[in-house]
């Protein structure tokens, strides 16, 4: 640029600076430079801090609060181990307290634990602590089933706790829970167990029907508490699902603590194609009547599926 042109440009800039608009532009430029310098400094400082071990979060940084009384030390230890398998990556020893979207990442990692049903709250506390409120999975029944990759000489079947969503739980972890609470045993499932920590589903829906029947058994045991009636110990779903022709033989059978059996029929989870069978309340009242009128020595099955008049007419299958 010629010297004359450069001098003219400088003169014009000075003239602009002397105006109100010029002074505002200069102030804005200086502010922008200060902001840029601060952002660069902050970014550098943030990167340095993120690499500091004091602000790193690992599974041991998590503290579960407000857990129910049944959670013993064995369950707490297993919960920490399960977090180690799902913990998000982030440097040599986990994410930092200063990571972006940290709370969401931690919530996803905790929810991925096989023992966690729902994450209620995640509170990241400076410098490196995470307080978590969560509901844990608990067994509603024990399932007797075949185990994958069974080794020669090992038992043909195993008994494993299963929660209400069909997730298979570790029997060792929940041994204390199972020793203190009565859980119904579900038998008759043909499908092989998928393994601990996995959701169990089968094409015949025997697992789903078994869970539904276990809920019925637990409800019966609760409602008949104090009546002196035998409790439901087992649920057999080997007859489920039945065709209309074979349904009269029984789909879901309850085994009582005195050895007698109850032909319950199909649960209300899926009544498609089922006729004549009554609902839970009617079946429960019918069972109480049969228990009151039959002696424990009468080993005939207690059939609560149909009204007496239909049984007297010899109903044996759906139309």
Q: What is the pLDDT of residues 73-95, one digit of tens each?
A: 999 999 999 998 888 875 555 78
Question: Please, which pLDDT band fits residue 37 given cuts at 50, 70 and 90?
Answer: very low
How buried is 172 (Cβ within 10 angstroms: 0-12 exposed, 13-18 middle, 19+ buried)?
Answer: exposed
DSSP-derived secondary structure letter, 32:
H
In this prediction, residue 4 has a pLDDT band, given cuts at 50, 70 and 90, of low
Check pLDDT > 80 for residue 21: no
Contact assessment for residue 288 and residue 309, using Cβ atoms and an 8 Å cutoff: no
Name the CATH architecture for the domain at 56-136: Roll (3.10)
Whether 160 and 193 have beta carbons less than 8 Å apart is answered as yes
Rounded Cα–Cα distance for residues 236 and 251 (Å): 8
pLDDT band at 71 (very low <50, low <70, confident <90, very high): very high
CA distance 304 to 216: 13
> Which of 20-24, 29-33, 51-55, 175-179 is the most confident on average?
175-179
Tell me the average pLDDT across 255-264. Answer: 95
Tokens of 316: 């044996």
pLDDT band at 311 (very low <50, low <70, confident <90, very high): low
**C-alpha distances out from residue 138 to 70, 135, 147, 288, Å:** 10, 9, 21, 29
The SS3 call for residue 171 is coil
Per 3-state DSSP, the chain is made up of helix, strand and coil in percentages (nearest 5) of 40, 20, 40
**Is residue 208's pLDDT more than 60?**
yes
Read off φ and ψ for residue 111, nearest 5 degrees: -65, -25
Query: Regarding predicted confidence, which is higher, 36 or 159?
Result: 159
Q: Which two tokens stand for residue 35?
A: 């902001």
Cα 82–chain centre separation: 13
Collect all residues with Cβ–Cβ distance below 8 Å to 252 and sequence separation of at least 6.
Answer: 209, 213, 235, 236, 237, 239, 240, 264, 265, 266, 267
CA–CA distance, 204 with 211 (Å, rounded to integer)? 13
User: For residue 23, what is the DSSP state?
Assistant: H
Helix (H) or strand (E) holding 64: strand 62-64
Q: What is the mean pLDDT of residues 260-285?
A: 87
How many residues are recorded in the chain? 319
- Predicted pLDDT of residue 35: 60
Mean pLDDT, residues 157-182: 94
The 3-state DSSP class for residue 159 equals strand
Contact 267, 209 (CB under 8 A): yes
Question: Rounded to an integer, what distance in angstroms lies between the CA atom of residue 17 and that of residue 19?
Answer: 5
pLDDT at 318 over 60: no
Beta bridge partners of 184: 141
Give the per-residue pLDDT at 50.
46
* Confidence band for 101, pLDDT divided at 50, 70 and 90: confident
Query: Does residue 20 surpass a pLDDT of 60?
Result: yes
- Range list of H helices, 131-257: 175-180, 206-223
Q: Quote the CA–CA distance of 236 and 188 in Å, as a whole number.
A: 5
pLDDT of residue 309: 62
Spatial CA neighbour of 248 closest among 261, 239, 238:
239
| Top-confidence residue, 42 or 172 | 172
Mean pLDDT within 125-134: 90
The radius of gyration of the chain from alpha carbons, rounded to an integer in Å, stands at 33
Residue 63 has pLDDT above 50, yes or no: yes
Q: In this structure, what are the phi and psi dihedrals at residue 86, rounded to the nearest 5 degrees?
A: -115, 0
pLDDT value of position 193: 93
Q: What percent of the chain has pLDDT over 70?
A: 77
């Amino acid at each position: 640029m010629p010297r004359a042109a450069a001098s003219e440009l400088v003169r014009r800039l000075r003239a602009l600076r002397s105006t109100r608009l010029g002074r505002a532009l200069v102030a804005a430029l200086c502010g922008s430079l200060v902001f840029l310098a601060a952002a660069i400094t902050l970014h550098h400082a943030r990167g340095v801090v993120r690499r500091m071990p004091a602000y790193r979060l690992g599974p041991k940084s998590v503290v579960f609060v407000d857990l129910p009384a049944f959670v013993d030390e064995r369950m707490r230890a297993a919960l920490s181990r399960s977090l180690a398998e799902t913990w998000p990556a982030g440097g040599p020893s986990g994410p930092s307290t200063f990571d972006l979207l940290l709370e969401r990442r931690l919530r996803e990692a905790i929810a991925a634990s096989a023992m966690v049903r729902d994450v209620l709250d995640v509170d990241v506390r400076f410098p490196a602590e995470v307080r978590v409120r969560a509901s844990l999975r608990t067994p509603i029944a024990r399932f007797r089933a075949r185990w994958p990759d069974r080794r020669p000489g090992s038992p043909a079947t195993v008994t494993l706790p299963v929660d209400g969503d069909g997730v298979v739980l570790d029997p060792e972890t929940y041994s204390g829970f199972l020793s203190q609470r009565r859980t119904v045993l579900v038998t008759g499932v043909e499908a092989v167990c998928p393994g601990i920590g996995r959701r169990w589903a089968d094409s015949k829906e025997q697992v789903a029907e078994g869970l539904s029947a276990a809920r019925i058994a637990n409800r019966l045991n609760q409602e008949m508490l104090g009546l002196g009636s035998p409790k439901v110990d087992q649920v057999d779903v080997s007859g489920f699902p039945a065709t209309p022709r074979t349904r009269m033989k029984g789909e879901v059978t309850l085994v009582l603590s005195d050895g007698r059996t109850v032909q319950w029929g199909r649960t209300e989870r899926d009544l498609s194609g089922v006729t004549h069978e009554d609902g839970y309340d009617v079946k429960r009242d019918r069972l109480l009547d049969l228990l009151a009128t039959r002696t424990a020595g009468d080993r005939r099955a207690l059939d609560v599926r149909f009204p007496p008049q239909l049984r007297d007419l010899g109903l044996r299958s759906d139309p």
